[in-house]
Amino acid sequence: MQDQWIITEDCAGHTISEMLRRRKYSLTQRRRLRRLATVYLNDEVAAFHTRPQAGDNVRLVWDNPARHEPWEYPLDIRYEDADFLIINKPAGLLVHATVTERAHTLLHAAQAYLDRRGNGETPHPVHRLDRRTSGLLLLATNAKAQYNFNRYSMPTLWRRYFAFLHGRLPAPYAELAWPLARKPGSIIERRVDLQQGKPARTCLERLGLGAAYSYVSLLPETGRTHQLRVHCAHLGYPLLGDTLYGGDTKYIARQALHAGELQFIHPYTRKAVRVTASLPADMQALLAATR
């Protein structure tokens, strides 16, 4: 990987180490670069304590040990710039590798895509999506962009999910604020825990009713693991297909949850980015039977 810039008048006389801080590298990243990167000043090897002058060209080059083995898989990319990708993930595709699946994940597919861009990039997820959830996932294409998003843009990240729940919701709107914790004895399952749980908040809006289910919009104000699934189940209306939390597969073979809208303020341009993805075919079939 590399980073390159031209020294401006206001940066002249500062060390390259000081410039990395001004370029919004975290302390951990700066320490790692001092360990791994080679500095070039006007194409000559230099040191981090060098003080370039206005007009000089600085280039840092380093290896990226976190690179994923590329896997060729067609990706539905809804947004792309030098630092971020938004991918419409199909249900069934893992985001991260697991003990049983090490090579065929969204990150491996994104690595293959980034390799074709030819900039030495690696994908870094900004948030999570469960394997059986479909929809929009935001990736940073380098560690610096991930750090800056977490520091400057994470409070602006807004996501809207669409779901189908067992049962006919009587109310058009609900605010769910039950704290969540890991279920004892399980490394996967979560539960509502009023004593030891972490705060979690979800806004629910009913959009339509089927014969035996409800079509809803879900806005997570926090990002706890399985938050939407556990909140809906605790309310008494589990997601269709979500067998872990009380749903069944009569209507759909996976949890009927889709991340359909995503927006944020870009950490570099400070402009709003908004992306949408319509329901996939299995959920479209459910929508056709609602009113």
Which positions are catalytic?
130
C-alpha separations of 269 from 82, 113, 125, 156 in Å: 12, 24, 20, 14
Residue 77: how many other CB atoms lie within 10 Å: 13
Per the CB < 8 A criterion, the answer to whether 63 and 36 are in contact is yes
Give yes or no for a contact between 175 and 221, defined as CB atoms under 8 angstroms apart. Answer: no
Among 88, 237, 232, which residue's Cα sits nearest to residue 167? 237
Please state, in angstroms and rounded to a whole number, the distance separating the CA atoms of residues 122 and 149: 16
User: Would you say 112 and 238 are in contact if contact means Cβ atoms under 8 Å apart?
Assistant: no
What residues contact 95, with CB distance under 8 A and at least 6 apart? 89, 105, 106, 107, 125, 128, 129, 131, 137
Burial of 181 (0-12, 13-18, 19+ CB in 10 A): middle
Measured distance CA(94)–CA(289) in Å, rounded: 29
